[in-house]
Amino acid sequence: MSKTYAIADLHGRFDLLIPALDQIAKHANRHKFKIVAIGDYIDRGPESRQIIEHLMALQKAMAPIVCLQGNHESMMVETIRTPLHPEWWIGNGGGQTLISYGHPRSGDYQPDVVPEEHLVWLENLPLMHIDQHRVFVHAGVDQLKPLDQQDPQSVLWKIYDGNDPGGHDMRHVVHGHHARVDGPILLSGRTNLDTCAYYTGRLVVGVFDDDLAGGPVDFIEVRALPRLTPMAETSP
């Protein structure tokens, strides 16, 4: 028996990641397992760099973890690499990410505070993880297209209609991106794990039995202090 644990939308809350990993190890109870982190590790919360460094270290240590790219990682890479005017990214929480890398809280935009190694890791993250019964993505999938023909924009940015049961053929879709403080949201064909954790201080990890089709068989809930306001961003 093996399980998959899905973590969504940490958004700079390193204080939620570490206890979540500890709780996952306890829940697995020495059975085989893997973790799928489904993107948006950065922005809004205070410790984006710490999350990236920890996830990179876990992968280097050959830990059973798959890290997917979210739309915020895509924004960060595109803004720095292209380069684009930073307001698009900064206005969506990128200021907090730069500050976590030591960027001054005021003054000129200095993207070179981000190490090249981190950018390379972020831009090479896969967009999707598929197993026998499920599809793990950051935002969603187009039900009418084969999984190998999905539009990256949809995978990273899609917002499901609230009445859309989701799913892709016989596979259950596990996603985040659409923040719901009353989450997780469980529907017949999909599970939305984004609980707006950077604001609420509440992260819910989905637990999936690799031998069983459908949604989660359990949840792990981790709590830390909430933020005072949901969108109070700090720009460099």
pLDDT, position 235? 37
* Distance, CA of 104 to chain centre: 26
Closest by alpha carbon to 8, among 45, 46, 35, 48? 35
Q: Are strands 2-7 and 202-209 parallel, antiparallel or unpaired?
A: antiparallel
**The pTM is what?**
0.95
Task: Kindly report the CATH number assigned to the domain that includes residue 19.
Answer: 3.60.21.10
Digit-by-digit pLDDT tens for the chain (236 residues) are 899 999 999 999 999 999 999 999 999 998 999 999 999 999 999 999 999 999 999 999 999 999 999 999 999 999 999 999 999 999 999 999 999 999 999 889 999 999 999 999 999 999 999 999 999 999 999 999 999 999 999 999 999 998 899 999 999 999 999 999 999 999 999 999 999 999 999 999 999 999 999 999 999 999 999 986 654 443 34
Structural domain including 15 reads: 2-223
To which residue do tokens 């996952």 refer?
A: 24
What's the domain count of the chain? 1
Is residue 136 included in any domain, yes or no?
yes
Please count the other Cβ atoms lying within 10 Å of the Cβ belonging to residue 228: 7
pLDDT, position 228? 63
Is residue 232 included in any domain, yes or no?
no
Is residue 233 included in any domain, yes or no?
no
Is residue 235 included in any domain, yes or no?
no
Is residue 161 included in any domain, yes or no?
yes
